[in-house]
Structure formats: structure tokens, C-alpha cells
Structure 1
Amino acid sequence: MASDPKLHTFDEVSKHNKTKDCWLILSGKVYDVTPFMEDHPGGDEVLLSATGKDATNDFEDVGHSDSAREMMDKYYIGEIDPSTVPLKRSYVPPQQSQYNPDKTSEFVIKILQFLVPLLILGLAFVVRNYTKKEE
């Protein structure tokens, strides 16, 4: 590693998001993994999906070997300026659920109020016509 590492901004690193130009952020360090794209065991899609963000969790979740970690040294190009990294978005649950049991119940009641009389009229019509034929 260089004795005086270059400091990169998040925006700068995010622009390197193609197969022929791919940089990653891992544990506060910036790596140019472009030469490794074809050799990566998971394929270049895995590396491309890790661009434009801090990919530390993605990297750690896979459980890379010690030799893979040592190999990273040759791709190291500097540090990320932490003040330029966007804050992680936290999950914000919806304010109100889409499902409202009271509204659903009201809807069902209105439908039944409409259908039940129709069913009774239909049944009365069938009974009337059936009994007329019998006479």
C-alpha cells in the first residue's frame, strides 16, 4: 500500500461502475478491480452490483478466504473520504397500512345489501316460473 494514500470522493468512485472501469469501496478503502473482472469467481456481475455504495457488507457476507483478502492489496488505489459517503437509508415503515378492516367490512356489507335482494328476486322468479309449469 502507498505510504500517502490518495483520498477519493464517493461521487468520483461511483462513476467507475462499468466492466472496463470498476472501483469498489471496502472498509474505507478504494480498489480498482477492473483487471480482476474476468477472473472473479462470482463473475463480473457480482462486482458491478457492488459499485456506487460501500460494499463492505457484501464482501464480508460472502466469507472471502485469506488469500482473496491478500490479493486485494494489488488493487488498492486509496482511501474513501468518509465525509462524502451518503448516510445509509434506514427503513421507514409506511405511516398507514393499505388494509383497513373497517373499510373492507363496509364494502362487503354494501355488496351484500345489493346482492341479497337480487338473489331473493331471482329465486322468487325461478320458483314462480317453475310452479307455473307444474300447474
Structure 2
Amino acid sequence: MSKIYTFEQVAEHNTPQDAWLIIDGKVYDVTAFVEEHPGGDEIVLDLAGQDGTEAFNDIGHSEDAVAMLKDLLVGSLDPASMPAKSEKIASVGQNATTGGEGRGKLALACALVFFAVAYYVANMR
């Protein structure tokens, strides 16, 4: 039977020397894998001690990546210990953002680069 951890217990494992992740209700010790992560260690360390389910699923990991999780499994998460989403946002502070606020600038920058390249290619005679 696997060990059951609370969200608070997992949250204590949030350093490069001791990094745990929650993915789909399971708890993984990813410490040994941090430096080997093909996408870089930064994304794993940013999520260390937290629920990384959404980020893991959004990336679309391969079957091999999903299979690798078996070796890193240390237990399951007690679902009753998960903080409510509104509590997490409120605990950050009144000036908290919901993420994505800078995407408009990125889209604008991409559009400018696109049009600059298109103009250059159209005037290459």
C-alpha cells in the first residue's frame, strides 16, 4: 500500500536537493530527475512542492515520460488536504495576478516581428 501525503507535507519538498511533485493525485520525488529533465530544470523547480498536473498534461508528455513516473512514485495525495483554488490566490496577496497578464505584449511582439520579416521578404529585389 502506498503512503498517503498531505498537500502540506508535499509542499515542504520544494528545493533542488529535495523536489516533489503532485501529478494526477500521486506524489513523485523528482529530485534525481531535475537536472535530466529535457525541458530544463527550471520548470520542474518552479512547480516543486506543488500540484503540477495541469502543466504536465498541457505539455503533452510522451508515453515514455509517463512511464518514467513509475520509478519516481513515493505515494498518493490526500485529496482532502488540497487547498481550494480561491484560498491559494487569496493567500498570495491582494496584488496577486491570475497569470497570462503579459501575453498581450508577447503577441504584439510576435506580430511586429512577423510583419517586419514579411516586409523585408517582399522588398528583397
Fold similarity call, TM over 0.5: yes
Q: Is the counterpart of residue 29 in structure 1 residue 26 in structure 2?
A: yes
**TM-score w.r.t. structure 2 length?**
0.67
Identity %: 47
Name the larger-Rg structure: 1
In the other structure, the counterpart of 2:53 is: 56
Match of 1:84 in 2: 81
Looking at structure 2, the residues matched to 37 and 51 of structure 1 have their Cα atoms a distance apart, in angstroms, of 10
Give the SS at the match of 2:21: strand
Give the length in aligned residue pairs. Answer: 89
Amino acid at match of 2:61: H
Q: Where in structure 2 are the equivalents of 1:65-76 lying within 5 Å?
A: 65-76=62-73
Question: 2 CA distance for matches of 1:53 and 1:16?
Answer: 9
CA–CA distance in 1 between the matches of 2:53 and 2:15?
19
For structure 2, the residue ranges without an aligned partner over 5 or more in a row are 90-125
TM-score of the superposition, structure 1-length normalised?
0.62
In structure 1, C-alpha distance between the alignment counterparts of 2:41 and 2:10, rounded to whole Å:
17
State the 1:79 CA deviation. Answer: 0.1
Over the residues paired in the alignment, what is the CA RMSD in angstroms? 1.7
